[in-house]
Amino acid sequence: MDWQPNFSPGLKLIVEFPSIFNNKFNSFFRGFKQNQYIIIDHPTQNNLLVQLDEGMVGMVRYIDTGRACGFMSEVQGFAKRPYPLVFLKYPESIESSNLRKEDRYPVRLDAAFSSQKGSEPGSERFTGEILNLSKNGCLLSSPNPFSIKNTLYLIVPFPEHDVAVDIECEVKNCQKTSDTYHIGLIFSDSLQAVHSTVAAYLEKLKSLRVRA
């Protein structure tokens, strides 16, 4: 599957304006209109809005599903109420490079997970959906946020397997989208049976030529 640019509301970005001293500022995508404009939060510095002017050119950088992305843009206008926003020109092109060492495959797998092993008394279980999968990790859609480096125990009923696979994972990143959280997980489980099950499922996806 070919990569497509993502401007989902809530996706974190860094915007740089060469004409401003200390020119790197954090912001978030808030919306867009195809081929016309992108809306971001007005960057702040020391709790004050950064002074921007129409026509100012800057570089926008962000991470999207394992890819480092960047594009040049131009300030088109502003909105002050109800929240300070900046309108940027829709990019003519976007540069991107893959940060991952392993191929990831788009999937839609229901999953249950907990911050404790399921057998431990008082462990609270959540439900979510796996959006993509590699042999070493996955992207999980969750209604709840989790801190980086936290351990999660993921239970996945892989298709054509009679028993759900229980995988110990480490949270590598957590990003809020419009209505959920996208959690990047690395499999820390060393059990051969777990890796064999994941690898077998990925081989099936590979044979179908499905790839993120």
What is the predicted pLDDT for the residue at 165? Answer: 78
Report the relative pairing of strands 105-114 and 151-156 from DSSP bridges: antiparallel
List the chain domain ranges: 12-98, 105-207
Provide the CA 44 distance to its chain's centre, in angstroms.
Answer: 23
What is the predicted pLDDT for the residue at 80? Answer: 93
What is the predicted pLDDT for the residue at 206? Answer: 78
What is the predicted pLDDT for the residue at 190? Answer: 66
CB 168, CB 189: distance < 8 Å? yes
Q: What is the mean pLDDT of each run of 10 residues along the chain (212 residues)?
A: 70 89 87 94 93 94 82 95 96 78 81 75 80 89 90 85 79 86 86 79 76 50
What is the predicted pLDDT for the residue at 42? Answer: 97
Q: What's the CATH fold of domain 12-98?
A: Pnp Oxidase; Chain A (2.30.110)
Q: What are phi and psi of 2, to 5 degrees?
A: -70, 145
Architecture of domain 105-207: Beta Barrel (2.40)
Residues 6 or more apart whose Cβ sits within 8 Å of residue 11: 28, 29, 62, 64, 175, 177
